[in-house]
């Protein structure tokens, strides 16, 4: 057991290190901006105070290492700064409480997690069932049809699938709303109904990919000698899959799921824009368009963090599912 | 082994035909094979690669792999035709009355479950016995098969047990329901000779003890001679002949069978010993080498003289290939040095001059990975001609043709082909030509014949011998096969665990007294005599063969 | 709630039908192995497929199902075209190409056909398109279909957009811009990632470690997110330096994508480097250039080509997504992603004016069609090379 613990701790440390380096990359990228950027963003009418506050926020008058440490310290405490848009608003209109980036992101983060969660609840069981079926009936009409369908839906851009779904499920046969105007304090049922169409779009993309990879992982196993041995012992096909193939397919399947949940993070951006879903992706794109650096930086860090976390989880779980590591010689 | 043909019939395979899929079309791979098997009888199925013996063995269980199908004939097992039987009927028989022992036990045990759980699965599923009884039975079988710690070994995972032990555990698993028939598919091919003999003894004992009928599939004649009552010879999916073992060995009827039997007769005359003051071509002096921090070689020393062949023998992990890597410079030695004709060579190949590199050439075990699949034969052989000799254009082509002629391949026919269009033996010849193209003094032959069928291997050995006489080459011949040593070596170096155990001329090595390890190695090589195993066991006892004896040294 | 009951009821009926079908099959065929060994899952599959077919036929005949009819017609036309194309390929051309077409599945020939058409459109866009890509014509918001009664105009078969640019011309120019830029980006990514990957695998040691760790970090940031971040910064610089943003986009996406190419190139080369023929070449004293270009590259070409197809799809989709989000290819260049965004609101007219809704779907469909086609070809290539291995 000692070696497994060691490997897991190693991976955890590596994950933290990666996150740290990624934060440096994001920070450095933002610092590639020209020096008088604040002026450019706020325009001619900006007050001296606002410009100074932005310069301070970007810390343009400090040493870059100090600035990074300062920023990182803020991130760790949950302080992601104040968005330019808010600052601009305040400097032009004056007064009022400024909303911090953290306060802006928090509710939207919840919404995005809800969307990703609903998608995962549909997509993961569906794709694994379909993948196992395709592997079981490989080279049959079902398998070929599924291959055609999944390949097509992987290849299509998210917004194409989204508009096709809107066309059929919202416009021609209006069963679901085409816009996801979600607000706080909404009932779960209504919220689910409004989330369903974006979730279905994401499901289409992710299911196809997961199903193909599950199928491939199982088929690769099915040709291994120990599966042949199990069949030659007269074990029923279902038991062969469940008892002999599945324990060994866990690692690849876990990887497939994690990879696709991670993919959801990217896919969510486009889909949120199409459905005007008030999630973090929508906020991110809006911020990109108006070059609202603190928001872009924060959202980027959150996306990267989630991505790294998912990959780390997959990594650790597939290590734990490997009998060779669990029971060393 | 006695005649069991009077006993009741267990399995009748009649005109069995199988097809394999290649590029969307089905082509015949087994073209009508028939045989009978009686209760308690062992049938040896032999043939070279591509003979279809494994496919026939599986079809005898009513099973085909993906991409193979039964296209005709019948397999009658105790009154049931397995070709037309429903999947359910077959499942009732498999594991319970017909069992299978695969070639690679390491790959055929499920890595996710303990050995004993896999052992008890068939008896419990088929309702033969309860889990508890079956576990106790497993321990008894392990003890019978002379596995160490029979009470405990089953509770390990497959990767925690060595190859030879796993193979015996798999035989025990096949026995778990006391089947009427077991198919052994090359069960000892992947094992070292000293381990193989132990497994052979165990398999034979248990089959006799329980009076189980068996089909024993192998390409090794000497092995099948120990195991089978009758032998059937296959060639490219067709039957050649079938006879009782002794008669088959003493009086084969068909030309092909006779040629198989004759293979081991090639032997070249021993050369006179080199002069005492002669400078060796290659001198390995006290080489100690390590991968990482682990020393793999410990003070290895031997000389190779001009025009002579030194065979380096030993089992897997003995350090023979590592020694070769030290000589070529891929693995610089930690201590000691390599001398070429009296001058020390730089440790790494990167430090050696072009001429030093040219003098030492290598021929590889797997011709498939030794030739670049995207280059024509002309390019493969032409490159060293150009690189070392500076020949270009027409001169280069002429030299390539000359080399092709030297390895007995028609130049005009082969020069523009790709390696994938050649047979295994031809590829190995191209490997030889590439080595010759550098015009070296010394060639390392790394298990050059072990991936080849016996007839083809014999051709390669003869070619190498002729080239040596013609060009005065020195060979270092790495092998685990003592028959090869006997036929081609002048001197022998025996290695074990990274050390040289014994060295000397071939005649000294093959006449007693030997070092105990050499003795074990020599005595473990199966011979064509059907009584060999029985006599060996009688002479030495079960304690003094196999891994147990090897570990004691 | 009632809908759920309907679905459950239909499912139960199908299960029952499957059971009956298998029973009947066994009885009628005299227990033929086809039915005797048929699992219940398989029987259910057949019955389900039959039910789906019946439903599709019913839907096809319904009045309102315009888009469904278009989809079915489109599918049939494409299948037919692919079949004819394959037939032609089997009889025209050199012996090698004919052999290739003989072994080709319909999906792959469809892929080749589509890629060919796109290539022709992209190269000769200037000749084929009736109007210029940025040309603002008299009429805005002309409905596609060319039927004046429905608000169309025969001069603009696919209508015009909000500011009166011809949609057909912009679609054709889109092939040149979107596909061309994606292709250039992919090539750049391959030169960058491929050469680094080969070097890392062949030389190994600290260079390999350095490059691999750097790539690990870059790959830890989701591609689209990273691209958006860098595009934000680039947009500031682009305005200042007067360099088109599109150029920055090509560089940024090529850089991000080259990390994926690096991984694959390194893995492929890593598998080749351990081969004995590479050892033989090293021991012969060959230099690095010979090893990479003469020994490794020819063997890595097939997997790299398949990867090129996949990477192209990925780059193409990323660019389309960026354009759709408004930060990709910039006007006045015509581009499919931007077109989808601009025309998207017409979807809402689909119920009463199906033609109007077709325009944004056409642009999005043009993107999907190409990626589907390339994926079909790659899938076939991978299948072929894995088939040869067995």
B contact chains, 3+ CB pairs < 8 A: A, C
Tell me if A171 sits within 8 A of A178, measured CB to CB. yes
Q: Which residues of C328-337 are buried (b: 16+ CB within 10 A; e: fewer)?
A: bbbeebbbbb
**Which residues make Cβ contacts (< 8 Å) with residue B62, sequence separation at least 6?**
B75, B77, B82, B83, B85, B90, B93, B94
Q: Which residues in chain C touch residue A167, judged by CB atoms under 8 angstroms apart? A: 67, 347, 350, 357, 361
> CB atoms < 10 A from the CB of B6, how many?
6
From the centroid of its chain, how far is CA B389?
A: 37
Integer Cα distance of C112 and C271 in angstroms: 30
- Decide: residue A210, CB within 10 A, 0-12 exposed, 13-18 middle, 19+ buried: buried
CB contact under 8 A, B112 and A248: yes
Low-confidence ranges of chain A (pLDDT < 50): 1
Q: Which residues in chain C touch residue B24, judged by CB atoms under 8 angstroms apart? A: 103
CB contact under 8 A, A232 and B100: yes
Residue A92 is assigned to a structural domain of this protein: no
Say which of A29, A171, A265 has its CB closest to residue C222. Answer: A265
Integer Cα distance of A1 and A4 in angstroms: 5
Asked whether the predicted pLDDT for residue C184 surpasses 90, the reply is yes
CB contact under 8 A, C368 and A37: no
Q: Which residues in chain A touch residue B92, judged by CB atoms under 8 angstroms apart? A: 234
What local confidence, expressed as pLDDT, does residue B371 receive? 92
Alpha helices per DSSP H over chain A: 2-30, 37-42, 48-57, 64-77, 84-93, 101-136, 141-155, 158-165, 188-222, 225-232, 237-239, 246-274, 280-289, 293-320, 323-326
From the centroid of its chain, how far is CA B172?
A: 24
Asked whether the predicted pLDDT for residue C389 surpasses 50, the reply is no
Q: A226 — contact with chain B (CB < 8 Å)?
A: yes
The domain tally of chain A equals 1
- Token readout for C222 is 């989701």
The helix or strand, by DSSP H or E, that contains position B31, with its residue range, turns out to be: strand B25-38
**Which residues make Cβ contacts (< 8 Å) with residue C370, sequence separation at least 6?**
C114, C115, C118, C179, C316
What local confidence, expressed as pLDDT, does residue A270 receive? 87
CB contact under 8 A, C367 and A157: yes
Half-sphere exposure (Cβ direction) of C72: Cα atoms closer than 13 Å: 11
Residue C102 backbone phi and psi in degrees, to 5: -65, -35
Tell me if C185 sits within 8 A of C306, measured CB to CB. no
> Domains, chain C, ranges and CATH?
1-60 (no CATH), 167-386 (1.10.3720.10)
Asked whether the predicted pLDDT for residue C258 surpasses 90, the reply is yes
What local confidence, expressed as pLDDT, does residue A38 receive? 60
Q: Which residues in chain A touch residue C375, judged by CB atoms under 8 angstroms apart? A: 151, 154-155
Nearest residue in B to C33, CA atom: B86
Smallest Cα distance from B325 to chain C, Å: 11
When scoring B29, B67, B374, B389 by the number of chain C Cβ atoms within 10 A, the one with the most, hence best to mutate, is B374
Integer Cα distance of A190 and A203 in angstroms: 19
Q: For residue range C332-358, what is the model confidence (pLDDT) as tens digits? A: 778 888 888 888 888 777 777 777 777
Residue A307 is assigned to a structural domain of this protein: no
Say which of A19, A40, A289 has its CB closest to residue C326. Answer: A289
What number is the average pLDDT over the span B408-434? 89
What number is the average pLDDT over the span B522-529? 80
- What does B40-95 look like in DSSP terms, one character per residue? T-EEEEE--TTS-HHHHHHHTTT---TTEEEEEEEEEETTEETTTS-HHHHHHHBT
What local confidence, expressed as pLDDT, does residue B189 receive? 80
What local confidence, expressed as pLDDT, does residue A50 receive? 66
Give the residue carrying structure tokens 């599918």: C75
What local confidence, expressed as pLDDT, does residue A87 receive? 65
Residue A133 is assigned to a structural domain of this protein: yes
Q: Please, which pLDDT band fits residue B252 given cuts at 50, 70 and 90? A: confident
Integer Cα distance of A227 and B435 in angstroms: 43
Which CATH number fits the domain that encloses residue A151?
1.10.3720.10
Residue B405 backbone phi and psi in degrees, to 5: -65, -35
Nearest residue in B to C273, CA atom: B369
Q: Please, which pLDDT band fits residue B359 given cuts at 50, 70 and 90? A: very high
What number is the average pLDDT over the span B212-223? 87
**Could you give the angle at which helices C297-325 and C336-343 cross, rounded to 10 degrees?**
30
What local confidence, expressed as pLDDT, does residue C390 receive? 32
Integer Cα distance of B65 and B77 in angstroms: 20
Q: A44 — contact with chain B (CB < 8 Å)?
A: no
What local confidence, expressed as pLDDT, does residue A47 receive? 66
Integer Cα distance of A105 and B517 in angstroms: 74
Tell me if B112 sits within 8 A of A323, measured CB to CB. yes
Give the residue carrying structure tokens 């094992």: B191
C contact chains, 3+ CB pairs < 8 A: A, B
What local confidence, expressed as pLDDT, does residue B270 receive? 72
What local confidence, expressed as pLDDT, does residue A90 receive? 62
The helix or strand, by DSSP H or E, that contains position B291, with its residue range, turns out to be: strand B282-291
When scoring C227, C228, C309 by the number of chain A Cβ atoms within 10 A, the one with the most, hence best to mutate, is C228
Q: Is the peptide bond prior to B115 cis by the omega test (within 30 degrees of 0)?
A: no
β-strands B309-313, B491-496 pairing: parallel
Smallest Cα distance from A246 to chain B, Å: 10
**Nearest C-alpha neighbor of B98 from the set B213, B261, B204, B5:** B213
Q: B364 — contact with chain C (CB < 8 Å)?
A: yes
pLDDT above 90: percentage of residues in chain B: 18
Q: Which residues in chain A touch residue B91, judged by CB atoms under 8 angstroms apart? A: 234-236
What local confidence, expressed as pLDDT, does residue B449 receive? 84
CB contact under 8 A, C298 and B375: yes
Q: A230 — contact with chain B (CB < 8 Å)?
A: yes
CA distances from B484 to B460, C171, C332 (A): 11, 72, 77
Q: Which residues in chain B touch residue A239, judged by CB atoms under 8 angstroms apart? A: 125
Give the residue carrying structure tokens 């796993």: B166
Q: Which residues in chain C touch residue A164, judged by CB atoms under 8 angstroms apart? A: 361
Q: A61 — contact with chain B (CB < 8 Å)?
A: no
Cα-Cα end-to-end distance for chain B: 34
Specify which residues A75 forms β-bridges with. Answer: none
Smallest Cα distance from C269 to chain A, Å: 23
Residues 59-118 of A with CB under 8 A from C: none
What number is the average pLDDT over the span B403-423? 89
- Decide: residue C138, CB within 10 A, 0-12 exposed, 13-18 middle, 19+ buried: exposed
**Nearest C-alpha neighbor of B377 from the set B409, B429, B416:** B416
DSSP code, position A242: I
Integer Cα distance of B43 and B46 in angstroms: 10
pTM value is 0.82
Integer Cα distance of B359 and A223 in angstroms: 45
B364: left (phi over 0), alpha (psi -120 to 50) or beta: beta
Q: What is the 3-state secondary structure (H, E, C) of B333-393?
A: CCEEEEEECCEECCCCHHHCCHHHHHHEEEECCCHHHHCCCCCCHHHHHHHHHHHHHCCCH
Residue A170 is assigned to a structural domain of this protein: yes
Q: For residue range B160-198, what is the model confidence (pLDDT) as tens digits? A: 888 888 888 888 888 888 888 999 988 888 778 888 888
In terms of residue numbers, what domain contains A180? 101-289
Task: Name the interface residues of B facing A (CB cutoff 8 Å).
Answer: 61, 63, 65-66, 90-96, 99-100, 102, 104, 107-113, 121-122, 125-126, 156-157, 159-160
Tell me if A126 sits within 8 A of A104, measured CB to CB. no
A contact chains, 3+ CB pairs < 8 A: B, C
What local confidence, expressed as pLDDT, does residue A60 receive? 59
CA distances from B266 to A147, B262, B269, B528, B532 (A): 56, 8, 10, 15, 21
Q: Higher model confidence: residue B155 or residue B511?
A: B155
Q: For residue range B135-146, what is the model confidence (pLDDT) as tens digits? A: 888 888 888 888
Angle among Cα B164, B170, B175 to the nearest 5 degrees reads: 135
Tell me if C181 sits within 8 A of C329, measured CB to CB. yes
Q: Which residues in chain C touch residue A269, judged by CB atoms under 8 angstroms apart? A: 224-225, 228, 321, 325
Q: Higher model confidence: residue B430 or residue C69?
A: B430
CB contact under 8 A, B357 and C284: yes
**Residues C319, C320, C324, C328, CA torsion sign:** positive
Smallest Cα distance from A8 to chain B, Å: 20
- Decide: residue C164, CB within 10 A, 0-12 exposed, 13-18 middle, 19+ buried: middle
What local confidence, expressed as pLDDT, does residue B457 receive? 85
Mean predicted lDDT score pLDDT of chain B: 86
Integer Cα distance of B279 and B271 in angstroms: 17
How big, in percent rounded to 5, are the helix, strand and coil portions of chain B?
A: 40, 25, 35
**Which residues make Cβ contacts (< 8 Å) with residue C179, sequence separation at least 6?**
C118, C122, C316, C370
What number is the average pLDDT over the span C18-32? 85
Q: Which residues in chain B touch residue C281, judged by CB atoms under 8 angstroms apart? A: 383
Residues A70, A75, A77, A81: what is their CA dihedral angle, to the nearest 10 degrees?
Answer: 80
CB contact under 8 A, A300 and C340: no
From the centroid of its chain, how far is CA C4?
A: 35
**Could you give the angle at which helices C245-273 and C297-325 cross, rounded to 10 degrees?**
150
CB contact under 8 A, C218 and A18: no
CB contact under 8 A, A225 and B104: yes
The helix or strand, by DSSP H or E, that contains position C369, with its residue range, turns out to be: helix C354-389
Residues 234-273 of A with CB under 8 A from B: 234-236, 239, 244, 247-248
């Amino acid at each position: 057991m000692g070696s497994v613990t060691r490997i897991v701790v190693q991976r955890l440390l590596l994950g933290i290190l990666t996150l740290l380096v990624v934060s440096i990359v994001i920070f450095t990228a933002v610092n590639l901006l020209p020096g008088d950027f604040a002026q450019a963003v706020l325009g001619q009418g900006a007050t001296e105070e606002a410009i100074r506050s932005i310069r301070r926020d970007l810390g343009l008058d400090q040493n870059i290492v100090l600035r990074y440490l300062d920023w990182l310290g803020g991130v760790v405490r949950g302080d992601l700064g104040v968005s330019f848009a808010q600052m601009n608003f305040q400097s032009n209109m004056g007064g009022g409480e400024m909303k911090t980036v953290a306060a802006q992101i928090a509710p939207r983060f919840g919404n995005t997690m809800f969307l990703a969660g609903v998608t995962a609840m549909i997509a993961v069981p569906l794709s694994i069932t379909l993948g196992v079926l395709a592997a079981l009936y490989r080279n049959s009409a079902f398998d070929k049809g599924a291959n055609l369908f999944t390949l097509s839906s992987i290849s299509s851009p998210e917004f194409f699938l989204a508009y096709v779904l809107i066309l059929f499920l919202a416009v021609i046969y209006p069963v679901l709303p085409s816009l996801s105007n979600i607000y706080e304090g909404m009932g779960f049922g209504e919220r689910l109904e409004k989330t369903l169409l974006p979730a279905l779009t994401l499901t289409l993309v992710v299911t196809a990919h997961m199903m193909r990879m599950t199928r491939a992982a199982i088929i690769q196993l099915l040709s291994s000698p120990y599966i042949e041995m199990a069949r030659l012992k007269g074990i029923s096909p279902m038991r062969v899959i469940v008892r002999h193939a599945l324990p060994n397919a866990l690692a690849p399947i876990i990887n497939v799921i994690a990879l696709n949940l991670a993919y959801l993070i990217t896919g969510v951006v486009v889909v949120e824009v199409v459905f005007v879903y008030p999630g973090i992706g929508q906020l991110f794109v809006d911020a990109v368009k108006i070059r609202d650096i603190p928001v872009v930086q924060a959202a980027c860090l959150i996306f990267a963090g989630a991505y790294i976390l998912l990959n780390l989880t997959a990594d650790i779980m597939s290590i734990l599912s490997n009998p060779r590591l669990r029971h060393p010689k | 082994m006695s005649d069991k043909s009077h006993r009741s019939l267990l399995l009748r395979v009649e005109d069995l035909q199988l097809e394999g899929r290649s590029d969307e079309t089905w082509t015949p791979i087994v073209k009508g094979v028939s045989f009978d098997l009686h209760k308690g009888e062992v049938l040896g199925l032999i043939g070279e690669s591509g003979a279809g013996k494994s496919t026939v063995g599986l079809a005898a269980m009513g099973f085909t792999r993906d991409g193979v199908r039964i296209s005709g004939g019948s397999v009658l097992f105790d009154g049931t035709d397995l070709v037309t039987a429903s999947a359910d009927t077959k499942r009732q028989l498999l594991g319970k009355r017909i069992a299978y022992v695969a070639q690679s036990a390491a790959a055929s045990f499920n890595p996710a479950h303990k050995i004993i759980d896999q052992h008890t699965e068939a008896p419990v599923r088929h309702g033969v016995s309860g889990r508890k009884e079956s576990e106790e039975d497993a321990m008894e079988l392990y003890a019978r098969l002379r596995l160490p710690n029979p009470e405990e070994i089953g509770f390990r995972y497959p990767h925690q047990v060595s190859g030879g032990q796993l193979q015996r555990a798999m035989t025990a698993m096949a026995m778990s329901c006391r089947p009427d028939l077991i198919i052994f598919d090359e069960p000892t091919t992947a094992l070292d000779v000293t381990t193989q003999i132990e497994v052979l003894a165990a398999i034979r004992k248990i089959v006799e003890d329980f009076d189980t009928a068996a089909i024993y599939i192998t390409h090794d004649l000497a092995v099948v001679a120990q195991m089978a009552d009758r032998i059937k010879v296959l060639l490219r999916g067709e039957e050649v002949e079938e006879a009782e073992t002794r008669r088959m060995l003493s009086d084969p009827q068909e030309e092909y069978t006779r040629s198989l039997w004759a293979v081991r007769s090639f032997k070249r005359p021993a050369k006179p010993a080199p002069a005492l003051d002669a400078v060796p071509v290659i001198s390995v002096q006290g080489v100690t080498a390590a991968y990482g921090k682990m020393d793999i070689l410990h003070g290895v020393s031997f000389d190779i003289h001009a025009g002579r062949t030194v065979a380096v023998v030993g089992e897997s992990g003995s350090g023979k290939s590592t020694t070769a890597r030290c000589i070529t410079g891929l693995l610089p030695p930690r201590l000691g040095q390599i001398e070429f004709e009296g001058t020390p060579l730089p440790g790494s190949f990167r430090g050696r001059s072009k001429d030093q590199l040219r003098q030492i050439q290598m021929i590889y075990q797997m011709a498939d990975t030794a030739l670049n699949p995207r280059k024509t034969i002309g390019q493969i052989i032409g490159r060293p001609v150009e690189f070392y000799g500076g020949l270009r254009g027409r001169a280069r082509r002429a030299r390539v043709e000359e080399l092709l002629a030297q390895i007995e391949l028609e130049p005009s026919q082969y020069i523009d082909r790709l390696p994938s269009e050649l047979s295994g033996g031809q590829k190995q010849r191209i490997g030889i030509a590439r080595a010759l193209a550098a015009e070296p003094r010394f060639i390392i032959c790394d298990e050059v014949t072990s991936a080849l069928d016996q007839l083809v291997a014999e051709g390669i050995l003869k070619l190498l011998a002729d080239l040596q006489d013609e060009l005065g080459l020195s060979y270092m011949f790495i092998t685990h096969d003592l028959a090869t040593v006997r036929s081609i070596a002048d001197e022998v170096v025996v290695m074990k665990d990274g050390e040289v155990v014994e060295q000397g001329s071939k005649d000294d090595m093959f006449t007693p007294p030997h070092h105990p390890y050499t003795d074990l190695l020599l005595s473990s090589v199966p011979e064509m005599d059907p009584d060999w195993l029985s006599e060996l066991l009688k002479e030495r006892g079960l304690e003094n063969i196999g891994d147990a004896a090897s570990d004691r040294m | 709630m009632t809908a759920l009951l309907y679905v459950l009821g239909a499912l139960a009926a199908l299960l029952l039908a499957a059971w009956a079908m298998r029973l009947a099959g066994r009885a009628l065929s005299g227990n033929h192995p086809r039915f005797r060994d048929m699992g219940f899952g398989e029987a259910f599959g057949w019955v389900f497929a039959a039910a789906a077919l019946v439903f599709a036929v019913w839907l096809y005949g319904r009045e309102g199902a315009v888009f469904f009819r278009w989809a079915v017609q489109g599918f049939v036309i494409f299948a037919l075209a692919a079949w004819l194309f394959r037939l032609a390929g089997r009889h025209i051309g050199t012996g090698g190409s004919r052999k290739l077409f003989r072994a080709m599945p319909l999906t792959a020939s469809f892929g080749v056909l589509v890629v060919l058409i796109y290539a022709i459109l992209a190269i000769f866009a200037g000749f084929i398109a009736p109007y210029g890509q940025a040309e603002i014509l008299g009429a805005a918001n002309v409905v596609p279909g060319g039927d004046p009664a429905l608000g169309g105009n025969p001069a603009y078969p696919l209508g015009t957009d909000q500011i009166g640019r011809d949609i057909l011309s912009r679609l054709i120019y889109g092939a040149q811009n979107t596909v061309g830029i994606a292709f250039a980006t992919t090539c750049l990514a391959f030169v960058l990632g491929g050469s680094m990957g080969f070097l890392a695998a062949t030389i190994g040691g600290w260079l390999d470690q350095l490059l691999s760790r750097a790539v690990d970090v870059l790959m830890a940031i989701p591609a689209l997110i990273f691209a958006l971040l860098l595009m934000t910064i680039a947009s500031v610089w682009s305005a200042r330096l007067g360099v088109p943003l599109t150029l920055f986009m090509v560089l940024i996406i090529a850089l991000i994508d080259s990390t994926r190419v690096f991984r694959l190139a390194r893995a492929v080369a890593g598998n080749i480097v351990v081969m004995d023929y590479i050892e033989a070449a090293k021991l012969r004293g060959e230099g690095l250039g010979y090893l990479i270009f003469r020994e490794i590259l020819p063997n890595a070409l097939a997997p790299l080509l398949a990867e090129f197809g996949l990477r192209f799809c990925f780059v193409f989709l990323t660019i389309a997504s960026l354009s759709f989000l408004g930060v990709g290819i910039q006007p006045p260049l015509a581009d499919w992603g931007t077109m989808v965004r601009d025309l998207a609101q017409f979807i809402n007219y689909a119920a009463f004016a199906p033609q109007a809704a077709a325009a944004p779907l056409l642009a999005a469909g043009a993107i999907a069609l190409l990626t589907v086609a390339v994926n079909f070809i790659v899938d076939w290539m991978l299948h072929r090379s894995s088939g040869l291995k067995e």
